[in-house]
């Protein structure tokens, strides 16, 4: 096994182009587990820790560009106000030690249906910025990024450079079911983001389908039925939960049954929408 250590982004792209089978490594919180347990023995590791720009974030107008190597702890400490959904999800990742090393870029690269950052990225309408030496930059909307269990739209010669997320214009919430408050891989998870300007609600379902996915029918239903000047109607709320549950296609596994996941998605959908709606009404009243 080779260990590749590029120090610039151009070098990293060149290394990936020359050795597409090299596995990129940032915090190592997924990649090293697979190596320690001999699940995966890639011909090369491509260490991106020395490409300093990846561990930074910047602002371009209303959009925040989160570097693929920015650890969760920095998202929590520095971006909680503008990207509340992603920051909430980041707080539920692993333990402090894992949040010190783990990155959204790694979460996207692994493309596990249970990854915590996916639902808020979907709900917020994030865009994944990927790049290759041969074809340059591609912008992939989060909802087109996840293709299957641990499969993404990333080509073998591409690297994830950043994820672009618009600053929240309305309340956002993330909810996750697990057996304790830390060190939990989601049994299932759910994220909601209100976009009051467009009178639209974004959703993201985690760990209840082969990929993270939006509940599209539920979003369309709210776009038609939600009265943005009134209290949340209980029939609308109930229907929203049902439609979110229906958007999931979960399996039975060691963490939970499909039935339980379908039930929990409906509960989390109703709860997160209620929390978001209460915040929205409070802000409007104030």
Local structure of residue 253 (DSSP, 8 states): B
* Nearer of residues 55 and 243 to other proteins, judged by Cβ: 55
Binding mask 8-27 for other proteins (x = CB under 8 A): -----------------x-x
Q: Least CB distance from residue 254 to other proteins, whole Å?
A: 15
Question: For residue 127, what are the CA distances in angstroms to 60, 66, 83, 200, 280?
Answer: 14, 10, 14, 18, 25
Q: List the beta bridge partners of residue 46.
A: 4, 24
Binding of other proteins at residue 32 (CB under 8 A)? Answer: yes
Closest residue by Cα to residue 98 from 27, 169, 40 = 27
How many positions of this chain bind other proteins (CB under 8 A)?
29
Q: Could you please report the per-residue DSSP string of 30-53?
A: THHHHHHTTS---SEEEE-TT-GG
Dihedral angle sign, alpha carbons of residues 73, 121, 192, 113: negative
Judged by CB under 8 A, the residue of 137, 183, 230, 283 near other proteins is 183
Binding of other proteins at residue 100 (CB under 8 A)? Answer: yes
Q: Least CB distance from residue 86 to other proteins, whole Å?
A: 19
* Nearer of residues 23 and 226 to other proteins, judged by Cβ: 23
Tell me the three state secondary structure of residue 169.
coil
* Nearer of residues 96 and 156 to other proteins, judged by Cβ: 96
Indicate left, alpha or beta for 150 from its phi (over 0: left) and psi (-120 to 50: alpha). Answer: left
What are the strands of the beta sheet with 44-47, ordered from one edge?
A: 2-4, 44-47, 23-25
Binding of other proteins at residue 35 (CB under 8 A)? Answer: yes
Binding of other proteins at residue 95 (CB under 8 A)? Answer: yes
* Nearer of residues 25 and 89 to other proteins, judged by Cβ: 25
Q: Least CB distance from residue 56 to other proteins, whole Å?
A: 16
* Nearer of residues 35 and 82 to other proteins, judged by Cβ: 35
Binding of other proteins at residue 45 (CB under 8 A)? Answer: yes
Judged by CB under 8 A, the residue of 76, 78, 80, 101 near other proteins is 101
Q: How far apart are CA 47 and CA 28, in angstroms?
A: 9
Binding of other proteins at residue 230 (CB under 8 A)? Answer: no
Q: Least CB distance from residue 35 to other proteins, whole Å?
A: 4
Of 67-86, binders to other proteins (CB under 8 A) are none
* Nearer of residues 150 and 239 to other proteins, judged by Cβ: 150
CA dihedral 252, 256, 262, 267 (to 10 degrees): 180
Q: List the beta bridge partners of residue 195.
A: 200
Segment contacting other proteins (CB under 8 A): 41-49, 128-136, 164-172, 277-285?
41-49
E strands within the chain? 2-4, 23-25, 44-47, 57-60, 63-67, 127-132, 136-141, 146-148, 151-152, 159-166, 172-177, 188-195, 200-206
Structure-token pair, residue 283: 């802000």
Residues forming the site for other proteins (CB under 8 A): 1-3, 5, 25, 27-29, 31-33, 35-37, 41, 44-45, 47, 49, 94-98, 100-101, 181-183
């Amino acid at each position: 096994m080779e260990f590749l250590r590029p120090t610039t982004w151009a070098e990293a792209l060149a290394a990936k182009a020359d050795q597409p089978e090299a596995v990129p490594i940032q915090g190592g919180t997924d990649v090293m587990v697979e190596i320690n347990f001999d699940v995966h023995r890639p011909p090369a590791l491509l260490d991106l820790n020395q490409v300093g720009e990846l561990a930074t974030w910047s602002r371009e107008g209303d959009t925040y560009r989160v570097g693929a190597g920015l650890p969760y702890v920095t998202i929590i400490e520095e971006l909680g106000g503008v990207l509340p959904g992603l920051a909430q999800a980041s707080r539920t990742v692993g333990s402090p030690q894992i949040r010190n090393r783990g990155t959204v870029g790694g979460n996207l690269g692994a493309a596990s249906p249970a990854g915590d950052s996916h639902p808020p990225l979907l709900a917020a309408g994030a865009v994944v910025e990927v790049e290759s030496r041969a074809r340059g930059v591609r912008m992939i909307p989060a909802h087109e990024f996840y293709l299957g269990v641990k499969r993404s739209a990333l080509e073998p010669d591409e690297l994830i450079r950043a994820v672009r997320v618009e600053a929240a214009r309305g309340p956002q919430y993330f909810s996750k079911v697990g057996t304790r408050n830390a060190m939990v891989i989601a049994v299932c998870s759910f994220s909601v983001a209100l976009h009051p300007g467009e009178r639209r609600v974004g959703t993201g379902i985690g760990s209840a389908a082969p990929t993270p996915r939006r509940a599209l029918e539920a979003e369309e239903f709210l776009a038609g039925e939600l009265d943005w000047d009134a209290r949340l109607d209980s029939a609308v709320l109930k229907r929203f939960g049902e439609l979110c549950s229906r958007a999931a296609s979960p399996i039975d596994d060691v963490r939970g049954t499909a039935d339980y996941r379908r039930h929990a998605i409906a509960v989390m959908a109703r709860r997160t929408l209620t929390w978001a709606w209460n915040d929205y009404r409070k802000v409007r009243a104030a």
